[in-house]
Chains A and B, each alone.
Chain A
Amino acid sequence: MTISTSPNALRRQEQQIARKYAGRLPWEAVIWGLGNLAVWLALWPLVFFDVMPLWLAFPIATLNVMLCYLPSHEAQHDIIGRKGTKWRWLNELVGHLSTIPLVLPYRVAKVTHIQHHLHANDPDRDPDYSSMAPGPWQAIWKSIQNRQPGAKGGFNKYGDILRDIGREDLLLDGALFQIVHFAILIGLALSGHAIEAALLWWLPRQIGLTYIQFFLSWAPHHPADGTGRYRDTRAFRSSWGNIGSMGMQYHIVHHLHPYIPLTDTPAAYRDMRHILEQRGCRLENI
């Protein structure tokens, strides 16, 4: 392949490659999102009617929470169905339902995630900047710290960003989700099912949030010292592999072309790697 170094030609080549991977309805994300929720919901009667032991349900619930964000993320980018298309309802359904185990309202997730794309690595305007840390262990600790009631980062930062961009209306979504979540936990606890509530929802959510913030926020942006289209994220090789890191090894493709389905980003990356190299992107061991 002849490679031109002209920035315009590079841009055209990049767009051509990206377009090859756009426009497909990622059914795998739909099945993943709705199926994952169905499994998590099924755990409750299975445990309460003694069909499944709690020690087995706990790791499954944890996996459910870890897996629940990305299908909604596809919906946040309208990948399942754009506005005005026949699959729009499915896009919104997956978006709203899949993150229930995480207690993250779709509208809050969508608006703050778009802000993340617009201002990645900007300490004041990137809602996810607070997950940044010098190393992996510090990132895990930071994730836990950001979940403390008086923390300045994490979901509390989402509230600040929503206020800054004039979307205070969405704070109500967040407040209602939190209150309903705690009401269910407390209701279960007071009726003698605290251990079930802790191991099917509360603890899986804590572990899941740590995992998600580590792999979906910290790892792909680390060290988070660059801004701009080709500098605010990276490609990297994870010791957990691409599946273990939930496709985040190719996060750079997602930031450049957020309409490409997650499962197509590895192939798109391989096709456009030579362009990204010329653009001076951080392509680390992959």
Chain B
Amino acid sequence: MQFVLKNILHFMPLIFGLGFLGPLISQILAMAGHGEVAGLPALAIGLTIGGLWGMIAQWRGRWL
């Protein structure tokens, strides 16, 4: 149990980037009328930015 919780928390920046920031960015884009950007769906853009940001935060230990 402790091992599972520790690992979930350890990888939280990556999980948060993909699971929360990705959908958030895509829903903001869609709300602004950009359902597609350069032929890519808003969700793909959101997941790319959120995932990359989460990966950087995971690696550096900081979002900002």
Residues of A at under 8 Å CB distance from B?
A: 144-145, 148-151, 172, 175-176, 178-179, 182, 185-186, 189-190, 192, 194-195, 197-198, 202
Give complex CA distance A189, B16 in Å: 10
B15 touches A (CB below 8 Å) = yes
Complex interface: chain A residues within 8 A of B15 (CB): 182, 186
In the assembled complex, the CB of A82 is this many whole angstroms from the nearest CB of chain B, namely 33
Complex interface: chain B residues within 8 A of A150 (CB): 60-62
Complex interface: chain A residues within 8 A of B63 (CB): 148-149
In the assembled complex, the CB of A225 is this many whole angstroms from the nearest CB of chain B, namely 28
Complex interface: chain B residues within 8 A of A176 (CB): 5
Give complex CA distance A149, B23 in Å: 21
Interface of B is mostly: helix
Are A190 and B64 closer than 8 Å at their CB atoms?
no
Complex interface: chain A residues within 8 A of B12 (CB): 149, 178, 182
A175-B5, A182-B12 known; A149-B19 Cβ under 8 A: no
Give complex CA distance A178, B7 in Å: 13
A149-B57, A185-B20 known; A195-B13 Cβ under 8 A: no
Give complex CA distance A221, B21 in Å: 36
Complex interface: chain B residues within 8 A of A189 (CB): 19-20, 22-24, 27
